């Protein structure tokens, strides 16, 4: 058990607003990953605005932010060229009864970046794009089963959430159609494809902490071809972080369909499904086959997000944001890992992953990942002006931001060392530990 403490005046107004949010919004946030149970109890800032790599909360606290809108912001909050493009688009109207010129221009921009794709359709969130890909693959192949990699998240829809601990309300008939396989394990994929006729294979090319083993993606492509299954690549995170052309360009693999979102609009809501014409046209008017209800959304083509996307494309042509993210991330990871090693904590606290998509591990005295020790680390960083569930950077993170973060980590590790030496966080942790976002029950962070 952790010792309870009074809510610090530093978060007083945020705490009141968080309680109000629980009365208004299930879970106290509109995204589970943004929920208060993902942050130290009593230290859940309610934000007012951001600028570059900084955010401010209702209590007037200023933070260097990491994670950057669940990885959706790569150019920085309020990046002026995007804001100006959106402002101009809004002045001219946001939603119409026919396509706009922006839809043509945005599609041309997108397809010029992703030469392996022949057609694209825009939407508003990643789940819609990935679910449309699954639906399209099922229609194209006439099969019901799909094979999904053991990556953390693909969609809010039944075909994926039914495989997680939060599967309440999803029929077994739906859950049973999703087969799982392991990343970098071609044998497990082959077993899944052999067990049932499979419509598609869904995976990320890489993650923050896992690169494809030599031959893995090529092997996935071969197995898909051998079993007549479509290869669907999720580029939600890798697109515009690994490359504006996606991880498929980095690793030299061509999927049948790919799904995009997050950093496409630097925080504005836009996603995309792209792929080979022979499949995408099944949702169009150039086919004699039975038509697929692919994507059809009121707000998919609204002008603000399309204008944001086009401004992002221009920024990637001139500002070299990926190089800047890689440089900032490398500097941060090197410094933090050096501090951890100096304090004899490198077995417990370590920064890992691609420099543009860093995460940190927090282990207890037994060397096992610990929610209690993670919470302690997060709370010490928050106290020192660093907000984030990760160290995912943006191109707006400056050397000064990295230096402030390293200084915060330096002080946090002193407290972490005490907890490791004591074998417990007792007396150091304020409130209950954080909990996995996707879990079956509200405990251990059920509302009092």
Tell me the per-residue pLDDT of 54-91, one tens digit each, with 9 for 90 and over: 999 999 999 999 999 999 999 999 999 999 999 999 99
Q: What are phi and psi of 411, to 5 degrees?
A: -70, -40
3-state helix, strand, coil in the chain (%, to 5): 45, 15, 40
- Residue 387 token pair: 């907000």
Helix (H) or strand (E) holding 148: strand 145-149
pLDDT of residue 161: 95
pLDDT of residue 126: 96
Alpha carbon 260 to its chain centroid, in Å, reads 11
Local confidence band at 171 (pLDDT 50, 70, 90 cut-offs): very high
Lowest mean pLDDT among 93-97, 107-111, 114-118, 421-425: 114-118
pLDDT of residue 296: 94
- pLDDT higher than threshold 80 for residue 225: yes
Contact 375, 410 (CB under 8 A): no
pLDDT of residue 50: 98
pLDDT of residue 1: 33
| Closest C-alpha to 58, from 24, 23, 19, 10 | 10
* Percent of the chain whose predicted confidence (pLDDT) is above 90: 97
Local confidence band at 273 (pLDDT 50, 70, 90 cut-offs): very high
pLDDT tens by residue, 280-299: 999 999 999 999 999 999 99
Q: Which residues contact 147 (CB under 8 A, 6 or more apart)?
A: 178, 179, 180, 181, 189, 192, 193, 198, 200, 201, 202, 229
* Coil, strand or helix at 271: strand
Q: What is the dihedral of CA 392, 397, 398, 403, to 10 degrees?
A: -40
Can you tell me the distance from the alpha carbon of 312 to that of 54, in angstroms, rounded to the nearest whole number? 20
- pLDDT higher than threshold 70 for residue 385: yes
The upper half-sphere exposure of residue 30, i.e. CA atoms within 13 Å in the direction of its Cβ, equals 3
pLDDT of residue 8: 59
Can you tell me the distance from the alpha carbon of 236 to that of 128, in angstroms, rounded to the nearest whole number? 12
Can you tell me the distance from the alpha carbon of 4 to that of 1, in angstroms, rounded to the nearest whole number? 9
pLDDT of residue 151: 93
- Tokens 């071809």 found at: 225
pLDDT tens by residue, 426-437: 999 989 999 999
* Coil, strand or helix at 199: strand
Contact 259, 232 (CB under 8 A): yes
β-partners of residue 57 are: 47
Can you tell me the distance from the alpha carbon of 301 to that of 287, in angstroms, rounded to the nearest whole number? 23
Helix (H) or strand (E) holding 359: strand 359-362
The residue-averaged pLDDT of 255-267 equals 98
pLDDT tens by residue, 1-45: 333 344 456 999 999 999 999 999 999 999 999 999 999 999 999
* Percent of the chain whose predicted confidence (pLDDT) is above 70: 98
pLDDT of residue 6: 44
| Closest C-alpha to 165, from 437, 370, 445 | 437
| Closest C-alpha to 190, from 159, 153, 219, 211 | 219
* Alpha-helical runs (H) found in 266-364: 277-280, 303-318, 321-342
- pLDDT higher than threshold 70 for residue 185: yes
The residue-averaged pLDDT of 111-121 equals 95
pLDDT of residue 9: 67
Q: What is the mean pLDDT of the chain?
A: 96
Q: b/e string for 398-431 if b means 16 or more Cβ within 10 A?
A: beebbebbbebbbebbebbbebbeeeebeebbbb
CA angle 402, 262, 250 (to 5 degrees): 80
CB burial class (10 A; 0-12, 13-18, 19+) of residue 390? middle
β-partners of residue 307 are: none
β-partners of residue 179 are: 147
Can you tell me the distance from the alpha carbon of 125 to that of 430, in angstroms, rounded to the nearest whole number? 35
Q: In what order do the strands lie in the sheet with 54-57?
A: 47-51, 54-57, 62-65, 386-387
pLDDT of residue 197: 98
């Amino acid at each position: 058990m952790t010792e309870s403490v009074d809510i610090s005046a530093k978060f007083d107004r945020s705490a009141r607003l968080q309680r109000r949010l629980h009365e208004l919004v299930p879970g106290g946030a509109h995204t589970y990953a943004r929920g208060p149970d993902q942050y130290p109890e009593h230290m859940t800032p309610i934000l007012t605005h951001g600028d570059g790599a900084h955010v401010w909360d209702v209590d007037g606290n200023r933070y260097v932010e990491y994670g950057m809108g669940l990885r959706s912001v790569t150019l920085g909050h309020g990046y002026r060229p995007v804001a100006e493009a959106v402002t101009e688009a809004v002045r001219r109207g946001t939603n119409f009864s026919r396509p706009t010129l922006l839809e043509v221009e945005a599609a041309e921009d997108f397809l010029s970046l992703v030469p392996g794709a022949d057609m694209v359709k825009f939407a508003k969130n990643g789940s819609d794009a990935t679910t449309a890909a699954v639906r399209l693959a099922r229609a194209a192949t006439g099969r019901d089963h799909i094979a999904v990699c053991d990556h953390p998240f693909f969609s809010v829809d039944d075909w994926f959430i039914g495989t997680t601990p939060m599967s309440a309300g999803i029929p077994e008939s739906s859950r049973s159609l999703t087969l799982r396989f392991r990343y970098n394990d071609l044998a497990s994929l082959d077993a899944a494809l052999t067990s049932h006729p499979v419509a598609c294979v869904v995976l990320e090319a890489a993650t923050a902490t896992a690169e494809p083993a030599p031959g893995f993606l090529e092997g996935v492509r071969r197995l898909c071809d051998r079993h007549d299954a479509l290869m669907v690549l999720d580029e939600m995170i890798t697109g515009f972080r690994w490359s504006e052309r996606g991880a498929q360009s980095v690793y030299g693999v061509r999927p049948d369909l790919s799904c995009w979102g997050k950093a496409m609009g630097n925080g504005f809501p836009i996603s995309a499904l792209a792929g080979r014409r022979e499949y995408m046209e099944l949702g169009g008017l150039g086919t004699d086959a039975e038509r697929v209800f692919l994507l059809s959304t009121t707000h998919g083509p609204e002008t603000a997000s399309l204008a944001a996307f086009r401004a992002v494309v221009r920024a990637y042509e001139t500002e070299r944001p990926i190089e800047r993210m890689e440089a900032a991330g490398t500097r941060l990871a090197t410094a933090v890992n050096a501090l951890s090693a100096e304090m004899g904590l490198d077995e417990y606290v370590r920064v890992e992953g691609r420099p543009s998509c860093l995460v940190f591990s927090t282990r207890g005295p037994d060397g096992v990942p610990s929610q209690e020790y993670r919470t302690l680390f997060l709370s010490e960083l928050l106290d020192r002006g660093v907000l984030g569930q990760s160290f995912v950077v943006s191109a707006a993170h400056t050397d000064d931001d990295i230096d402030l973060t390293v200084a915060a980590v330096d002080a946090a590790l002193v407290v972490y060392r005490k907890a490791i030496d004591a074998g417990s966080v007792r007396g150091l942790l304020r409130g209950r530990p954080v909990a996995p976002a996707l879990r079956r029950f509200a405990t251990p962070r059920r509302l009092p």
